[in-house]
Structure 1
């Protein structure tokens, strides 16, 4: 019999939720389902009182301090009447539960359920822009109690580059080009780091699908797993990145959803011209970050980053930096 180290464990959904439900005042369990093996493991659970989301953080993906930063931020936003899916305290008031997994300690948190569905069109983009501006305004007034990684040059460029370059060894020309692009982007970010740009707590993943829209026009933000202190221009750029990624023409920002989102945001919370001018730079940074994320998590997600994957991802990156003279 071989003794092999586990990298990632998927828990039995029913046993997991029944054990967790004993810690919370949420009623009698009625059923659960495993939704996704993403950055973390996400379960939907239901009791006689309603639905909940159970998140199991992957081993060593986030530190305990990182997670407490996120959960306490959500509690604060909820106290400001921000429409966010937030962690529910256990009967003893604790927000986190430790799980002894084969790969090591993992953390679990139970969240309120976000009603509605994902939808990106001109109208939802407008309401989302208003909501993100209010979110940033509320986060301007929050003082974290716990340390957490920052959405800085190291996190957005240096670390992703280390993860993706080994996957390009068989494509040396692409590897060289990626290094050159990263160096150019880093020089620009180094300049930005010494300037007076809008810096504060960011959601980190505002691509437009981490929000659910209900039929009555209300919305709920969720999945703050990528949050942290960072440039607000980067936070906004993720929405544009999602709209532009995969399009044939990446030379302009012409997109009705992006226009509606940004216009609504700026009506609520103005940004300086220098901040707005950074958005194309951060779209490129986001693309490199994403490739680094996919390759860096391949031990858990699988090494499906083949030549077809890199053809598409690097094509957008190179076209974007060329079109916008980055």
Structure 2
């Protein structure tokens, strides 16, 4: 028999909730589901008192301090009556439950359930834009209590490139192209550092699907796992990126959902011309960040980043930077 160290454990969902539920006043579990193996593992549980979401952070994905930053931010927003999925404290007041997994220590956190469905159209985009502006207005006054990475050049470009470029060794021309594009983008971000660009707490993943909409027009934001202090223009750019990156030949802002989103946002919270002008830069940055995320997580998610993957991702990146003259 050979002993091999596992990288990632999927827990038995029923045993998991049997072990964790006594720490909370949430009633007796009735039905449990393993929803997704994403950046973290997400479970849903229905109890005789309601519905909840359990997130188990992957080993070494986020530090304890980084997780506590996220949870403190969510508690801050919930206390200001913002529509978010927020963490539920255990009966002893603690947020985190440590799990002894074969790969090492992992943290579990229970969250409120977000009702509704994911939907992106002109109407929901406007509602989303208004709500994101309200999030930013509230987060303008947030003072972090815990250390966490910033959504800066290092996090958005340098670290993703270190993960991505080794996967392009057999595509030398593309590796060089990505490096050249990243160098140009980095110059723009360096110029935007420490200046008048809006900087503050961000959701970090506002692509439009981390929010559920209900028929009455209300919504609930969730999944702040990518949050941090950073450029607000980047936070907004993620929605535009989601609207255009699936089209390799996309080269403009001509998207009704993006127009409605930005229009609604700026009615609630003003943006400077500088912040508006740098959004296309962050769309390209986001594309590199995504490729770095996929390749960096390949040991757990699988190395499905083949030539077909890079053909599509790089076609959009080059098309976008050329059209936007970046």
**Interval of TM-score (by shorter of Structure 1 and Structure 2):** over 0.9
Q: How do residues 108-127 of structure 1 correspond to structure 2 at under 5 angstroms?
A: 108-127=108-127
What CA distance in whole angstroms lies between the structure 1 residues aligned with 2:82 and 2:20?
26
What CA distance in whole angstroms lies between the structure 2 residues aligned with 1:278 and 1:98?
41
Q: Does 2:18 correspond to 1:18?
A: yes
Following superposition, the deviation at residue 250 of structure 1 comes to: 1.9
Structure 2: tracts of 5 or more residues without a match: none
Give the aligned partner of residue 85 of structure 1: 85
Residue by residue, what CA displacement relative to the aligned partner does 1:296-322 show, whole Å, maximum 9, x if unpaired? 000000000000000000000000000
Following superposition, the deviation at residue 17 of structure 1 comes to: 1.1
Q: How do residues 79-228 of structure 1 correspond to structure 2 at under 5 angstroms?
A: 79-228=79-228
What CA distance in whole angstroms lies between the structure 2 residues aligned with 1:268 and 1:249?
32
What CA distance in whole angstroms lies between the structure 2 residues aligned with 1:247 and 1:314?
11
Number of corresponding residues? 326
Aligned with 1:69: secondary structure?
A: helix
TM-score with structure 1 length normalisation? 0.99
Following superposition, the deviation at residue 248 of structure 1 comes to: 4.9
Give the aligned partner of residue 240 of structure 2: 240
CA RMSD of aligned residues (A): 0.6
Residue by residue, what CA displacement relative to the aligned partner does 1:263-286 show, whole Å, maximum 9, x if unpaired? 000000000001100000000000
Whether the 8 Å contact between 2:249 and 2:315 is mirrored in structure 1 is no
Following superposition, the deviation at residue 50 of structure 1 comes to: 1.0
Give the aligned partner of residue 7 of structure 2: 7
Aligned with 1:44: secondary structure?
A: strand
Whether the 8 Å contact between 2:25 and 2:91 is mirrored in structure 1 is yes
Following superposition, the deviation at residue 92 of structure 1 comes to: 0.4
What CA distance in whole angstroms lies between the structure 1 residues aligned with 2:215 and 2:56?
29
What CA distance in whole angstroms lies between the structure 1 residues aligned with 2:175 and 2:247?
23
What CA distance in whole angstroms lies between the structure 2 residues aligned with 1:11 and 1:139?
35
What CA distance in whole angstroms lies between the structure 2 residues aligned with 1:199 and 1:72?
19
What CA distance in whole angstroms lies between the structure 1 residues aligned with 2:79 and 2:237?
27
Q: Does 2:33 correspond to 1:33?
A: yes
Aligned with 1:32: secondary structure?
A: strand
Give the aligned partner of residue 46 of structure 1: 46
What CA distance in whole angstroms lies between the structure 1 residues aligned with 2:32 and 2:294?
28
Aligned with 1:17: secondary structure?
A: helix
Following superposition, the deviation at residue 196 of structure 1 comes to: 1.3
Aligned with 2:134: secondary structure?
A: helix
What CA distance in whole angstroms lies between the structure 2 residues aligned with 1:281 and 1:244?
14
Residue by residue, what CA displacement relative to the aligned partner does 1:154-178 show, whole Å, maximum 9, x if unpaired? 0000000000001001111100101
Aligned with 1:278: secondary structure?
A: helix
What CA distance in whole angstroms lies between the structure 2 residues aligned with 1:20 and 1:125?
37
What CA distance in whole angstroms lies between the structure 1 residues aligned with 2:104 and 2:72?
24
Structure 1: tracts of 5 or more residues without a match: none
Q: Does 2:307 correspond to 1:307?
A: yes
Give the aligned partner of residue 61 of structure 1: 61
Following superposition, the deviation at residue 195 of structure 1 comes to: 1.6
Q: Which runs of 4+ in 1 moved over 3 A?
A: none
Residue by residue, what CA displacement relative to the aligned partner does 1:97-130 show, whole Å, maximum 9, x if unpaired? 0000000000000000000000000000000000
TM-score with structure 2 length normalisation? 0.99
Give the aligned partner of residue 279 of structure 1: 279
Whether the 8 Å contact between 2:133 and 2:268 is mirrored in structure 1 is yes
